[in-house]
Chain A
């Protein structure tokens, strides 16, 4: 079946602009996760949704970052007033349930964000 998809695959923007990154999880997966991966680093947790609600947003670096999942499926990560330090690959993952002991996270291909 279809995996996790993310759009766009690449996004180039200017400092100070607003961007939206989209994630389509695997159908039926209730848990959705956003990570950020900077060059030479592992993925860094940002936020996790269970259904429509953000169950853990402790990884969002500041209030410029916000994410929504209004219907419990597609999620959008929103970044306001982008800074050059926001440049990274933004990864989305989904799992059938939030119990990662029994269920597996499936990752998407990522969106490469470049802030000039």
Chain B
């Protein structure tokens, strides 16, 4: 069965620090990978996604993620965080055999100290 693991439940950083949130997935086939973000009081929204091609994916607000197939990982990075990045971040996966069913991780809460 597909699953997604996010290793950090809560991360606290100061502004301008670099960010890396871990994500590993379990799936025995070709996958699409996603990062979603939920800012306080807002809807869940797509941050970036990988489905083919360049394994380094760039998203909105300076975020990027790298798909490493051999490690089943899709870690999210940002070189310098801002207070406005405070949010909950969810990694997700779907497989080509069930292309519209997305499996989410349990989320990482990111708190940025101003």
Q: Which A residues form the contact surface with B (CB < 8 A)?
A: 3-4, 31, 33, 35, 40-45, 48, 50, 55-56, 58-59, 91, 93, 98-102, 104-110
If A3-B43, A42-B90, A107-B43 touch, does A58 touch B101 (CB 8 Å cutoff)?
A: yes
Task: For residue B111, give the distance in angstroms from its CB to the closest CB of chain A.
Answer: 15
Q: Which B residues form the contact surface with A (CB < 8 A)?
A: 4, 32, 34, 43-46, 49, 51-52, 90, 92, 94, 98-107
Residue from B43, B45, B90, B106 whose CB has the most chain A CB atoms within 10 Å? B43
Interchain CB contact (< 8 A) of A100 among B4, B100, B105: B100
Interchain CB contact (< 8 A) of B46 among A42, A45, A48, A104: A104
Given contacts A55-B100, A105-B102, 18 further A-B contacts (CB under 8 A): A31-B100, A42-B4, A42-B104, A42-B105, A44-B104, A48-B100, A58-B101, A59-B101, A93-B44, A100-B49, A100-B99, A101-B32, A101-B52, A101-B99, A106-B45, A107-B43, A107-B44, A110-B43
Interchain CB contact (< 8 A) of A91 among B44, B45, B51, B92: B44
Task: For residue A37, give the distance in angstroms from its CB to the closest CB of chain B.
Answer: 8
| List of A residues within 8 angstroms of B44 by Cβ | 43, 91, 93, 107
If A42-B107, A56-B101 touch, does A105 touch B46 (CB 8 Å cutoff)?
A: yes
- Which residue in chain A gives the minimum CB-CB distance to B38? A107
